[in-house]
Amino acid sequence: MPDLFVDVFDVFMRTYQGFLEATVITLELTAIGVVLGTVIGLIFALMKISGSKILRGIANIYITVIRGTPLIVQIMFLYFGIVEIYTMSNFWAGAIALGVHNGAYIAEIFRGAIQGIDPGQREASLSLGMNRKQTMQRIVFPQALRRSIPPLGNQFIITLKDSSLVYIIGVAEIFSLANREAAQSYQAFESFLVVALYYLVLVMIFTFLLRLYENKLDVDKA
């Protein structure tokens, strides 16, 4: 056991600078994936609750396909599909794939939050002379956005972990670096243990920040 700690520490000291640089790439992938996914998710959430059968059908197909297929398959499919149309870096291809994947889950978060608002509030705003667009902008959406923040935070953490899959298209994020180190040093267990600790620390930090924000929301609501 002491030898294991020595080996892990040796791997950490040998690779920490590279891991820190890869962590920045991981966080960038995560942030872009969540922001793009939020935009896509909001659009498809509104489509799904719209009065148009065509828009609802398109939204349902998108959400069903994305949620029903593995992320790694989507990354490969979208990557090779994107580069056939427009040449871009592996980083942006991976970020877009993460955004498209997140969009389906975030769409359901927004849909549930919007539909969870008391219908009586819509009726009251309409009775005060607001039209449906104004009701959505001023009454429904602000409350739905507030309700969506905690699950969006959880989705951010999920995306952080899912970003490890973009190593398959050559993006130099944390897992990719660990994979390379394991192949070069023949210390696979130690290398992946180090990268697991990096992910664990990042997830714990974001979980802590998310809990603080949720507590703040509860205090403000009270």
Q: CATH number for the domain including 41?
A: 1.10.3720.10
Q: Which two three-digit tokens encode residue 159?
A: 């995306």
Q: Which domain, by its residues, includes 169?
A: 2-221
Q: Count CA atoms within 13 Å of residue 77 on its CB side.
A: 11
Distances 51 to 120, 134, 148 between C-alpha atoms, Å: 19, 17, 23
Give the chain's domain count: 1
| pLDDT, tens digit only, all 222 positions of the chain | 566 667 777 777 777 787 888 889 999 999 999 999 999 999 999 999 888 899 999 999 999 999 999 999 999 988 888 777 777 888 898 999 999 999 999 999 999 888 888 777 777 777 777 777 777 777 787 888 888 888 888 899 999 999 989 988 888 788 888 888 888 877 888 888 888 888 999 999 988 888 887 777 665 555
User: Would you say the C-alpha torsion 47, 49, 50, 53 has a positive or negative sign?
Assistant: positive
